[in-house]
Structure 1
Amino acid sequence: MGTFGGLSIASSGLTAARKALEVTGQNVANANTTGYTRQRVDQSPLAQTALATHATQSSVGDGVRVTGVSRVTDTVVTARVNSTASSAAYWNASSSALSSVETSLNEPGANGLSQVMNDFWAKWQTVANNTGTTAAGQGAANALIAQGQLVGSTVSAGYTAASNAWADARAGAASVVSTINDTAARIANLNTTIRALSAAGSDVNSLLDQRDAAVTSLANLAGASTRSNADGTIDVLVGGNALVSGVTTRTVVLGGAGSFSTVASSPVKLTWADTGGGVSLDGGDIAGRIQSLQPADTTGGGAGGVFAEAAKAFDDIARSVADAVNTVHRTGTTATGATGLDFFSYSSTGSPALTLSVVPSTVSGVAVADGTKGNLDNTIADRIAQIGSTAGSPDSAWATYVSRLGSQTATATARSTTATTAAAAATTAQTSVGGVDLDEETANLVIYQHAYQASARVISTINDVLDTLIRMGT
C-alpha cells in the first residue's frame, strides 16, 4: 500500500472514532430518559481490495468501516418483560376489585351486616322478654321494627354499592379498551415510519425504542406478544390473533351488558369490531377487569365476577332471613289475636336486597305468642331469636361468603405481589442489558478519544514523512 493508502486508513479511523464519540454522547445525554436503549457503534475492518503483484506489496487492509449503530437489547429479556407485565397487570386488577368489595363489607365491624344481624336476633330476644302491650313491650317491639328496617337498609346499601362498583369498573374497562386501540394504532404508525426509514438506510433506533415501549404497554393492558417481519415491522398478537399486522391494525370493543341489571343474560366480553367474535385474552389489565365484571356463579361456587357475587350474596341473605323469620312468624299470634302475618316482605321478581322491608309498624303486627299459652307467651319470639345460631342460618351463609371473599382476596393479593416482583426483576434485567451505565460510557469516551488522537497522529506522521520525501527530491 502506498503512502496515500495509509492516509485513507487513518482517515477511516478518525471517522469511526468520531462516530463512536457521537454515539457515546447520545447515550450520556439520555442516561435518564425513560425507555431509552443504549446504543453502540458497529465496526468492521476494510479488507484489501486489490491483488498484490510483483510491483506492489500486499496491503494489511484498507482501514475500518462503520457498519451501523445498533441498540443493545436482548429479545429473550424483552419477551420476559412483556409476559411478566401481562401477568402482573392481570393480578393487580383482580386484587384491586376483590379488595374494594372486601373493604366495602365492613366485616368484621360495628357497621357490618354480621353485627346488624346479631343485633336483630338480640332484639327478638328482648321482645321475648317483654311481651304484651305494656310500655316495655311496645318499646321492645319498636326497637325490633327499627332493627329490622336497618337489616333491610344494610342489605340494600350493600347491593347498591356492588351495582355501582360494577358500573364504575365497566367504565374503567371501556377506558382501557380505548387505550388499547390507540396504542395499537400508534404501533402501526411507527411500523410505517420504521419500514420507510429502514429502506432508506436511516437511523430508526429512537423509533424502535418508542415501539418497544408501546408494545410493553399493550402487554400490560391486554397480554400482547409480538413477532418480527422481514421489512422491520412487527405484528402484535392478542390471544394468538393479530391486533397489529405490520402497518394495519384491528379494533376491539367492549361488548355485553351495559348495565348491571342485564349482566346475567349478557356477560361483558372483549370482541373484534370487524367480526364481532370474542377476543381470547391470555392476561393483562383488561382480562382482570372483565373477569371482575362477569355474572355470579349460578352453581353457588363463588367463581363469578366479584361485584355480581357480592350482589348475589346480599340478595341471598335478604331472601333467606325474610323466609326464615316469616316461616316462624306466620305460626305466631299477635297481641290482638292476628295470625298468619309476615314480618318481612320482598319482591319475588326483583332484587330481594333492594326490596326487603318490614311489614309491621307497631307492636300489634308482631307475632310473639303461639296462640295457646296466653297473652304473655313468648314462644314464637324466642324461636325467631334463635334462628341466627342454628345450623344453615342466614348468618352462617353470610359468614361463608365473607370467608370465601377474604380467601380469594388474599390469594389474588399474594399472586399480585409475586407477579409484580417478577415484573420488576425482568425490568431490572432489561435495564442491566440496555440501560446506560455512566461509568462505562465515561470509560468509552476515553477509549474513543485516544483512538481519535491516535488516528490523527498517524495522519500527522505520514504528513511529516511526505514532507521529508518532497524536500529530499528538491
Structure 2
Amino acid sequence: MTLGLALSNALSGLRATSRMAEVISANLANALTEGYGRRAVDLSAASLGGRGAGVRIDGISRGVDLALLADRRGAEALLESRKPLTAALKGLEGDWGVAGDSLADRIAALEGALVSASADPGSDIRLGAVLTRLEAVVSSLNEAGAAVQRRRAEADAAIAREVGEVNAALADLAALNTDIARALGRGEDTTALLDRRQVLVDRVARAVPVREMERPGGAIALVTPQGAVLLEGSGAARIGFDPAPVITASMTREGGRLSGLTLDGRPLGEGAGSLAGGSLAAQFDLRDRILPEQAAALDRVATDLLTRFAEADSTLPPGQPGLLTDAGGWPTGEPGLAGRLAVHAAVDPARGGALWRLRDGVGAAAPGPSGTADQIDAWIAELDAPRPLVPGARPASAAGHAADLAAGLSGARLTAEEAEGFAAARWSALREAELAGGVDSDAELQLLLRVEQAYAANARLIAAVDEMMARLLEI
C-alpha cells in the first residue's frame, strides 16, 4: 500500500464516520418525533484497480417495517371506529339523568304524588304536586330526546370535520409524491419527505383504512380495502359531504334530508360506502343507526306513557290524548315524540286549565265531588299495570320500561367500552412493536462511541502518514 492510498483510505474513513455522527445526532434529536424513521448510513468497500480504496457512502436508508406499519394502521383505524360510539353512549347516559333523578325515578315520584292526592283528592296542594311531578317526567323525556338529536348533530359535524382533514391530507400527499420523485431524480435525500408522508398517511388511515402501494419514482397509491382509489401519483381523490346545520328526529339519510359521502362526485351508497372501517364510518353509524335506535326507544316509552293516561281516563272518547299529548294532539307516528311530549293544557292553570281535572278527568266539563279519587286511582293502577311496549315484548310497568331503557343504554355502553378496550390493547401492542424498531437512544449512544473510536483511528492514521511523509522529505 502506498502512502497516498493509505491517506485516501483514512480520509474516506473520516468522511464516513463524520456522516455517521451526523445521522446518529439526528436520530437522537428525533427520538420522540411522530413518524420519524431511524436513519442509517449505508457503507460499502471502495476499490480502485483491484485494490482497496477506503469506504464509500452509498446513501442514507430509513428503517421502517412496512408490514408492521400496515398492521398498526389497521388496528388504529379499528380503535378510532370504536371511540365515537363509546363517547356518545357515555354522554347519553349523562344526558338522560343520573341515579336518583332518572326517568324511572321521576315516574316513581309521580306515582307517589298520585297516591298522596288519592288520599286527599280535594287538596289543590296535592294536585299541584301531581302536576309538578308530571311536568318533571315530560321534561326528562323532552331533554333526553333533544340530547339524542344533539348527539346526531355532533356526529354530522364530526363527519364534515373528518372529510375536510382527509381531503387536506390527500392533497398534501399528492404534492409529496411529486416532491419525492423530483428529489430522487436530483439524487437528494428524501428521508424527511418520507417522514412527513408517513404522518399524513397515518392521518388518512385513522378515518379511512387504506393500503399503501408503491409506485415507480418513489410515489405511492392509497386504496381502501373496498377498492376505492384515494391517491394515485400526483392525483388525489376528493371526498364530498354537505353537513346539516340542524338535525331533527324526522331527518334521515333515506329521506334525503341528510347527506352521504361522494368520491369525486360519485355517491358512495349506504354509510361510508367504500370508505368504511375507520372513524368516518363510525360517525355515520352513530348519526344514521345507533342514535336513531335510542331515539326510537325513547319514543316507545313516551308513547306508552301517553297511551296509559289516555286509556285510563273515562272522560275521554277513543283517540283523544289524556294527561299527556303530542304537542297538544294525539301521536301521528312521526319520530321524535319524546321531544314533543307535553302536559295537557286542560290541567295546567298557567295555560288556562284547572287542577281539578287531575281528580275528575281531562275531559270533565265541570268539577265533581272533591272527595272522589276514582280517576286518580285509575291512573295509579294503569301506571303499575304490566304492558309490553311492542307486541311480544316483556310486559312491565311504566317505571319498569323507563328502567329497562336506562339499563339497555348502560349495557350498550359497556359493550362499546369492551370493544374499545380490546381494540386499544391490540393497537398498543403493535405500536410498542413499531417503536421498538425505531430510535433506541442507548443503542445510538453505543454506536456513537464506536464511531468516535473509528474517527480517532482514522485521524491517527493520517497523523502517522504525515509523519512518514515528513521523514521522507527530511532525507
Q: TM-score range by the shorter chain?
A: 0.7 to 0.9
The equivalent residue for 1:352 is 337
- Counterpart CA distance in 1 for 2:265 and 2:448 is 53
- Counterpart CA distance in 1 for 2:309 and 2:186 is 81
The equivalent residue for 1:246 is 233
- Counterpart CA distance in 2 for 1:142 and 1:228 is 74
User: Kindly, what percent of the aligned residue pairs are identical?
Assistant: 24
Q: Which moved more, 1:193-202 or 1:29-38?
A: 29-38
- Counterpart CA distance in 1 for 2:296 and 2:43 is 67
Alignment of 1:218-237 (within 5 A): 218-237=204-223
Q: Which moved more, 1:82-91 or 1:421-430?
A: 421-430
1:365 correspondence with 2:365: no
1:176 correspondence with 2:162: yes
The aligned amino acid for 1:344 is L
The equivalent residue for 1:140 is 126
- Counterpart CA distance in 1 for 2:57 and 2:411 is 60
- Counterpart CA distance in 1 for 2:259 and 2:418 is 26
**Unmatched 5+ stretches in structure 2:** 348-352, 388-396
Aligned in 2, Cα 1:255/1:280: closer, same or farther, shift over 3 Å? Answer: farther
Q: Deviations over 1:54-112 (max 9, x none)?
A: xxxxx3x33221111111221122122211211111111111111111111114222x2
Q: Deviations over 1:357-376 (max 9, x none)?
A: 2243324423559x9xx955
Report how far residue 193 of structure 1 moved.
0.8
1:410 correspondence with 2:414: yes
Aligned in 2, Cα 1:23/1:330: closer, same or farther, shift over 3 Å? Answer: same
The equivalent residue for 2:323 is 343
Aligned in 2, Cα 1:388/1:270: closer, same or farther, shift over 3 Å? Answer: same
The aligned amino acid for 2:136 is L
Q: Deviations over 1:320-379 (max 9, x none)?
A: 11111110113689xxxxxx883332243454321432243324423559x9xx955534
Alignment of 1:96-111 (within 5 A): 96-110=87-101
- Counterpart CA distance in 2 for 1:368 and 1:181 is 64
1:67 correspondence with 2:58: yes
1:78 correspondence with 2:69: yes
- Counterpart CA distance in 2 for 1:236 and 1:466 is 60
Q: 2:457 aligns with which of 454, 460, 465?
A: 454
Report how far residue 245 of structure 1 moved.
1.3
The aligned amino acid for 2:421 is T
Report the secondary structure of 1:188's partner residue: helix
Alignment of 1:379-394 (within 5 A): 379-392=374-387, 393-394=397-398
- Counterpart CA distance in 2 for 1:341 and 1:159 is 20
1:116 correspondence with 2:106: yes
Q: Deviations over 1:88-147 (max 9, x none)?
A: 11111111111111111114222x21111112222232333223xx3x2x3333322332
Aligned in 2, Cα 1:128/1:5: closer, same or farther, shift over 3 Å? Answer: same
Report how far residue 7 of structure 1 moved.
3.2
Report the secondary structure of 1:366's partner residue: helix
The aligned amino acid for 2:91 is S
The aligned amino acid for 1:98 is L
- Counterpart CA distance in 2 for 1:398 and 1:268 is 33
The equivalent residue for 1:195 is 181
The aligned amino acid for 1:170 is D
Alignment of 1:4-15 (within 5 A): 4-15=4-15
Report how far residue 281 of structure 1 moved.
3.5
- Counterpart CA distance in 1 for 2:137 and 2:408 is 22
Report how far residue 409 of structure 1 moved.
0.5
Which 4+ runs in 1 deviate beyond 4 A? 255-258, 374-377, 463-472
Contact residue 90 and residue 285 of structure 1 kept, 8 A: yes
Report the secondary structure of 2:42's partner residue: strand
- Counterpart CA distance in 1 for 2:214 and 2:439 is 23
1:429 correspondence with 2:440: no
Q: Deviations over 1:218-266 (max 9, x none)?
A: 2222233312223211112334312111221011123586633312624
Report the secondary structure of 2:36's partner residue: coil
Q: Deviations over 1:32-55 (max 9, x none)?
A: 4343222110111124544xxxxx
Q: Which moved more, 1:91-100 or 1:442-451?
A: 442-451
RMSD: 2.8
- Counterpart CA distance in 1 for 2:412 and 2:287 is 16
Aligned in 2, Cα 1:317/1:458: closer, same or farther, shift over 3 Å? Answer: same
Q: 1:283 aligns with which of 273, 277, 280?
A: 277
Report the secondary structure of 1:203's partner residue: coil
1:270 correspondence with 2:261: yes
Report the secondary structure of 2:216's partner residue: coil
